[in-house]
Chains A and B, each alone.
Chain A
């Protein structure tokens, strides 16, 4: 039972354009969401996060949008750069209780940004 799903295995974008990566979740108890970037042979790097009390969080070229009613979040990268080419994972967590701090990850989306 996959609670966090990234339905697009890959995305190809031209340099300078917007990249939009999508993520859906099924567990209504999730209330904190994160995006990670991963290069081959390296560990994931934290990018940006959002709490369920917000619907948008921005950090430089990266913006995360949360639609709680649709159980959907997205990561926007504007403008996209070739160095952004990596695998992007979304992750979700439940606040409090025995699951506090534990993350559930999606399968990842491979982003390729062409020069």
Chain B
């Protein structure tokens, strides 16, 4: 059983607010990822990291930013939330190819 945690699980927030979605893993994996998924759609990679102080943008353009100061922690920040940011955000980590996912954060921006 993989140990990767995301908080909060659900968040409803007003337009213009700054939010941080937390993701932590206890497996010591170097690689971590953030995906965005809308209902009935594929997972889109928005950020990834191959280690501490290493972050890259993914295939889907996103207004969010990430940081990787510690191996186990990979938070995602939205400086000013908008209704278009409403989605499910999934965090994952991996050692090789198999990625292990957290439970996700369902974000609703009103």
Contact = CB atoms under 8 A, between A and B. Distances in A.
B97 A93 contact: yes
Interface in B89-110: 90-92, 94, 96-104, 106
Contacts, number: 59
Contacts of A2: 42
**Interface residue range, chain A:** 20 to 34
Interface of B: 4, 6, 9, 31, 33, 40-45, 48, 50, 58-59, 90-92, 94, 96-104, 106
B42 A108 contact: yes
Nearest to B58: A102
Contacts of B33: 102
Contacts of A105: 42-44
Task: Give the secondary structure class of B's interface.
Answer: strand
Interface of A: 2, 4, 9, 32, 34, 36, 41-46, 49, 89, 93, 101-108
Contacts of A46: 98-100
A32 B90 contact: no
Given A89-B42, A101-B94, A108-B40, A42 B48 contact: no
Nearest to B56: A98
The 5 A-B pairs of least Cβ separation, nearest first, read A43-B101, A105-B42, A105-B43, A107-B42, A44-B101
Nearest to B31: A101
